[in-house]
Structures are given as C-alpha cells and as structure tokens.
Structure 1
Amino acid sequence: MKPGHPVIDVLDFISRGAEQSGETPLSVFSRTSDLLPAQVLPSDEAGAAEVDGLVHWSVRGERAQYGKRYLHLEVSARPILICQRCMRPFVYAVESAAQLEVVTNQAALDEDNEVDDPDMEIPDRILAQASQPVLELVEDEFILSLPYIPRHDYACVQYDNQDTPEGAGKKPSPFAALAALKKQ
C-alpha cells in the first residue's frame, strides 16, 4: 500500500472502540487489479451505471466479553468480472461483512478452535500489529468475496438467447434441431 493510506495500531483501535470508513479506488489494490479485467463496461451494457470503480469499506474495533478483541470489517463494491459461461463482462455485487478475532501471540493464532455446534461461525484470527494497514485487510476481504468461477446469476445469452434474467427460465427444446430436420 502507498503512503497516506490509513494505518492503525490494532490494540489501541480496539480499546477505543474506534471506527474508520472510506472509499478507495479499485486500482489502489494491486493484488486485486491483477485478478480483474478492465473495469469499463459499454454504456449500453446492463449494469454500466452501477460501476463506480470504488471499494466502500468500514472497520470497527470491539472489546467483547472474556477479554476477546474483534475487528468488524465491511466491504462493498461493484467490480466487473468475466462470466466463465459466456465470456462476457458483468457487474458483480460484493457485499461482505467479516468479524476478525485479534490475538496477541502466535500460540493463540495457531490454537485450534474446534466447536461442537456446526452452525456456529468461528471468526478468522489475525495477529495484532502496531501499524496495520487498513487497506490490506480490506483487500483481503474483497478478494475472499469474489467468486472462484464468476458467472451470471441467470442463464447466459449465449446459451438461451435471452438478454434478461426474466427470460432466463425459457430454455430451447433439445429436440428443436430434430424438428427442423423433420420439416425438410
């Protein structure tokens, strides 16, 4: 990250119950920009108005019961991804909230947190740092929120000849080609 970006003393930030938020251009995140295509959609493309090229984020410190410390991180953005079905660009909505447990030593970081209740979420842990770049945490969460295989939420144009999600339920008959042959 570049100078001038927010850096916090994690333990102090949590003890004060501090909060920071901001908007950062997607181009600032070097690891992310290497993963994504050009962030421009044609103006007539669906969702083009939604693309602002910004990552909106907030981080809040909390000291909970039994002395546990947490950072609550929220990240939202509208990056352009390439659908792996039809290979066309589309806008993907990232809305992520993460709770990170902050520990002060490597032993606590490595400690196994097995829980009997499979429905209970165990927060990820991070090691407290005196100068933690906030945007590193934001970029990590952003990357984790991106799909492994990006694709439209509805059937792609290439497969169903439909431009909208409303028409996505209408699939062509697999026997349409046979019907065309029968008419010859």
Structure 2
Amino acid sequence: MKPSHPVIDVLDFVSRGAEQSGQTPLSAFSRAADLLPTQVLPVNTESRESPADGQVRWSVRGERTQHGKRYLYLDVSARPVLVCQRCMQPFVYEVESSVQLEVVTNQAALDEDTDTEDLDIDAPDRILAQQSQPILDLVEDELILSLPYIPRHEYTCVQYEDQGSPDRADKKPSPFAALAALKKQ
C-alpha cells in the first residue's frame, strides 16, 4: 500500500477514533481532473486571491458515539483553476468543505429514510462500511460535489469592473430605439 493512496477498514478506523490527513496533487483525481480545465495559473491573478498550487489537502477522522452511531468527518480544501462562464477567463476557486458521513453496515440502513416527504435535510449522508475503502475516493467525491455547476467570479469579472456588471458591458443602443421614439409620437 502506497502512503499516497491510503486505504482504511472503515469500521476499525471509526472504532479506534483514528485520524489521517494528507496532501495529494489535483492531477491524481482523474474524475475531478476530467471536469476541470488545464490547471494553469491565471495571468492576471489579483493579490486578493490565493494562488492555485495544484494540491488537495484533506483529513478524515472516525468517531463512534455513545449511542452507537458511527461517523467519518471529512475535510477537503483545494484551489483549482476554473473558467468563469461570464467572461471566459480563468480564476482560482476556493474549495473548503467539511462533511459528516454516517457509516452503516448494510444496504437496508443505507436506503433507510429515502422517502422525500420524511427526508431530513440536516441528516448526514450515509456510506456503506467497507474493509478496503480508499480515502482518496471519498476526498474526490467531496471535491467534485464542492465545485460549482456554473463557475463564475464571485463579485465581478475583471474585464467588466469598469462597467459595473457583465449585463451592462455589451449594452449598445438598440437598433429599434428610433422606432420606439416614433411610436411615442
């Protein structure tokens, strides 16, 4: 077993209250890398942004409560480069995610409470305990879920700063303005 690809026995990990953490190159996550553009730093990275470093930092901790529930706590942070869908320029996106996963031992418990009427939105997601669970699979799943569906700059796009918003950037006089003026007469 390579240290860069840790595998745990989930039930043992939880019962011991074990912890593990690491740093893995973004390129090691093939499913996530397929969703991302080439990870090249933006040319005009502003000083307020933290630079992309191509690394995913993660930690996982197991816990068994006094009521017998088992949990994995997963923290993932990264700074991948995305392409803004407003201005089509690359930017660094900050991923900071913490998730609680309830560990269950059978499929019936995993499928329990899937009725949408009784669904508790605050309840943790569930995972099925495995004897050989690659931690990086859990990290990659959380990384993918943390990426925006439509990436865009948080406030304003750099090329639109002078104009206020991307909606006003392309405003030209309407060719029908003259007709509208005639209609008012």
Partner secondary structure for residue 85 of structure 1: coil
CA contact (8 A) 1:15 1:62 kept: yes
Bigger shift: residues 109-118 or 8-17: 109-118
- Distance in 2 (CA, whole Å) between partners of 1:42 and 1:20 is 32
Which residue in 1 is equivalent to 2:82?
A: 81
Amino acid at match of 1:87: M
- Distance in 1 (CA, whole Å) between partners of 2:51 and 2:169 is 35
Amino acid at match of 2:6: P
Once the two structures are superposed, the pairs formed by residues 141-180 of structure 1 within 5 Å of their partners are 141-158=142-159, 161-162=160-161, 168=164, 177=173
Once the two structures are superposed, the pairs formed by residues 54-69 of structure 1 within 5 Å of their partners are 54-69=55-70
TM-score by length of 1: 0.81
Assess, with a 3 A threshold, how the Cα gap between structure 1 residues 177 and 18 changes in structure 2: closer, same or farther. Answer: same
Assess, with a 3 A threshold, how the Cα gap between structure 1 residues 175 and 56 changes in structure 2: closer, same or farther. Answer: closer
Once the two structures are superposed, the pairs formed by residues 1-184 of structure 1 within 5 Å of their partners are 3-4=2-3, 5-46=5-46, 50-112=51-113, 121-158=122-159, 161-162=160-161, 168=164, 177=173
Deviations 1:24-64 (A, max 9, x none): 00000000111101111245432676111000000000001
Which structure 1 residue ranges, 5 or more long, are not aligned? none
Assess, with a 3 A threshold, how the Cα gap between structure 1 residues 28 and 157 changes in structure 2: closer, same or farther. Answer: same
Percent sequence identity is 66
CA contact (8 A) 1:21 1:57 kept: yes
Q: Structure 1 residue 162: deviation in Å?
A: 1.5
Please give the root-mean-square deviation of Cα atoms over the aligned residues, in Å.
Answer: 3.0
CA contact (8 A) 1:19 1:61 kept: yes
TM-score by length of 2: 0.81
- Distance in 2 (CA, whole Å) between partners of 1:49 and 1:98 is 23
Assess, with a 3 A threshold, how the Cα gap between structure 1 residues 126 and 91 changes in structure 2: closer, same or farther. Answer: same
